[in-house]
Amino acid sequence: MILSGKSALVLGGARSGKSAFSERLAIATGLERHYIATGRAYDDEMRARIATHREERGPSWITHEQPLDLVGALKAIDAAGHVILVDCLTLWVTNLMMEEADIPAQAMSLVEQIKASRATVVLVSNEVGLGIVPENRMAREFRDHAGRLHQQIAAVADEVFFVAAGLPLRMKG
């Protein structure tokens, strides 16, 4: 698939193929590729995952590690001729929750940046609203923050995809 707009939201479950699909979308633009990684390496397993992802992407990507100031990172590299892949929004929400940040304000800033961006922006996130209601308050708050963020971004994104078993379904655009 080829992007027809300037922004896309790619949703899917864990290991659904959403990151690989998003990378293919970004590569197909032919633009200078930037990757904003929001994950934090709290343990050896996560450090290994991050290293594997970086190696699989290869040297043709410019990687920016930014677990909290996603909007600032987007602004810093926003330029016509760039494609920016953000992976992933759910890790960003987790990081914001751990810092007790104002998530609705951060989400609104992100939406405004997406709308104003000169670069093509592809945002990856885990769809967390398809399962059972979480049993604890923090998990429910996380699900609610992520769900609201997805709705806000989907409303302004030119395209929205849902990926399951490596197969993308175009939902918008």
Active site residues: 53
Q: For residue 125, what are the β-bridge partners?
A: 11
Report the C-alpha gap between 142 and 97 in whole angstroms. 8
Report the C-alpha gap between 52 and 73 in whole angstroms. 22
CA angle (98, 86, 106) in 5-degree steps: 45
Report the C-alpha gap between 35 and 45 in whole angstroms. 21
Helix H or strand E encompassing 45: helix 44-57
| 3 Cβ neighbours under 8 A, 6+ residues apart | 25, 28, 29, 120, 122, 158, 159
